[in-house]
């Protein structure tokens, strides 16, 4: 999967970045409901297996000690996992099992088709230690997002006639965002895993579509410093996560419209083909206040796909739509996010960091505006 291109690319003309993650805090500022501890929610009992389903438990080969590059506090690490599939199965549910919640703050699972498995193995073998650094995406390309976890996320079951196709010989890449901000002393290790719910039955295939909007959040009137300059902040993001991240900021600006600094930003994305939306989730970081995803806003066909007026970082669960919604070529999807730079002074994890003009970035002190949609190609 290309960092600046596709998820369900035949369905949506979108700019995407398949990453997420930040660190929750144990203190909730006044007037902000969004950042409490989530360790108590780590273990959730599985729903009973449905007809034809079975569980497949996978884990990392060995414990991993996070080591953030470039002097940062964020380590995005990709681990290659072989589910040893002798035949084609469909993935109907997934429950990530984070082993160290002090460190783990998101995980995304990408399917690598058999013809690209050798490339993934080569990347893994040439990189010292377990796995490889993978800010933004899986670092392999030609992959598909099939599952994810963020605080508050558990297994979400759709109608059992839908699933993500996993061909025989395919691999999974588990991207984990480790964040060390607020971790005192040695960070410890992690050996997370996932429980897959699979079936040998042939189902209608699912895809994951991502909708992005830019983030252009200036420092507050009470803040000052070198990184309150936008150009300096963008340069800093590039230094921490690579030049591609700077390109991402520029592409979002070009795609979504001229930069207009402020707490609320949105982006309109045209639909390029027919698809059916089954579930939605929204993702921002610690400065997030609200996120909304709309279909054809301002028209007689307008409807809301996702509305989270009080964003809670610790509840990023998928919301299953009351009824699947079909979108068609010519429709427009708008994602809108509101962030609050004033929260930086209230959140213990951010208080010690220098104030910054916040743009799209992979780290806890950066931000995102991302709508995640679970779709099937074609009409319902």
Percent residues over pLDDT 70 in the chain: 88
On the question of pLDDT at 243 being above 90, the answer is: no
- Of the pLDDT bands very low, low, confident and very high (cuts 50, 70, 90), residue 184 is low
Distance (Å, whole) CA 228 – CA 234: 10
Nearest CA to 338 out of 285, 264, 286 is that of 264
* pLDDT band at 43; cut points 50, 70, 90: low
- From residue 341, give the alpha-carbon distance in Å to each of 80, 99, 287, 294: 37, 32, 6, 25
Mean pLDDT of the 305-328 span: 95
Average pLDDT, the chain: 87
Residue 183 has pLDDT above 80, yes or no: no
Closest CA to 91 of 144, 32, 25: 144
Segment 92-112, tens digit of pLDDT: 999 999 999 888 888 999 999
Q: What percent of the chain has pLDDT over 90?
A: 72
pLDDT value of residue 44: 66
pTM confidence score: 0.88
Each residue of 70-103: b (16+ CB within 10 Å) or e?
A: eebbbbbbbbbbebebeeebbbbbbbbbbbbbbb
Average pLDDT in the 360-372 region? Answer: 93
The token pair at 224 is: 């000052």
Q: What CA–CA distance (Å, rounded) separates 186 from 285?
A: 24
Give yes or no for residue 153 having a pLDDT over 90.
Answer: no
The residue ranking higher by pLDDT, 141 or 324, is 324
What is the spatial distance between Cα 146 and Cα 369, in angstroms, rounded to a whole number?
20
Phi and psi at residue 315, to the nearest 5°:
-140, 80
């Amino acid at each position: 999967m290309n960092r600046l291109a596709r998820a369900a690319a035949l369905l949506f003309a979108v700019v995407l970045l398949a990453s997420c993650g930040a660190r929750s805090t144990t203190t909730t500022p006044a007037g902000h409901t969004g950042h409490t501890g989530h360790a108590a929610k780590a273990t959730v009992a599985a729903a009973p297996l449905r007809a034809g389903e079975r569980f497949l438990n996978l884990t990392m080969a060995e414990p991993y000690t996070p080591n953030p590059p470039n002097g940062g506090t964020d380590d995005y690490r990709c681990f290659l996992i072989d589910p040893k599939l002798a035949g084609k199965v469909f993935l109907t549910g997934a429950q990530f099992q984070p082993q160290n919640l002090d460190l783990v703050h998101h995980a995304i699972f990408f399917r690598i088709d058999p013809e690209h498995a050798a490339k993934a193995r080569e990347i893994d073998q040439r990189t010292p230690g377990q796995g490889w650094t993978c800010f933004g995406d899986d670092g392999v390309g030609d992959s598909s997002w099939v599952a994810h976890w963020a605080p508050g996320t558990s297994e979400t079951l759709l109608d059992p006639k839908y699933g993500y196709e996993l061909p025989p010989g395919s691999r999974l890449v588990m991207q984990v965002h480790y964040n060390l901000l607020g971790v005192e002393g040695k960070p410890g290790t992690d050996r997370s895993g996932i429980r897959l719910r699979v079936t040998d039955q042939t189902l209608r295939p699912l895809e994951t579509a991502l909708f992005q909007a830019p983030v252009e959040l200036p420092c507050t009137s009470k803040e000052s410093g070198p990184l309150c300059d936008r150009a300096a902040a963008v340069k800093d993001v590039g230094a921490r996560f690579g030049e591609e991240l700077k390109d991402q900021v520029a592409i979002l600006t070009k795609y979504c419209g001229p930069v207009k600094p402020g707490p609320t930003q949105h982006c309109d994305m045209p639909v390029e083909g027919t698809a059916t939306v089954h579930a939605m989730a929204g993702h921002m970081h610690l400065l997030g206040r609200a996120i909304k995803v709309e279909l054809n806003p301002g028209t007689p066909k307008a409807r809301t796909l996702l509305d989270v007026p009080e964003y809670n970082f610790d509840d990023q669960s998928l919301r299953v739509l009351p009824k699947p919604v079909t979108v068609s070529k010519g429709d427009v999807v708008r994602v809108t996010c509101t962030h609050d730079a004033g929260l930086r002074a209230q959140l213990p994890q951010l208080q010690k960091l220098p104030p910054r003009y916040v743009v799209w970035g992979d780290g806890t002190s950066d931000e995102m505006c991302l709508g995640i949609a679970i779709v099937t190609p074609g009409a319902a």
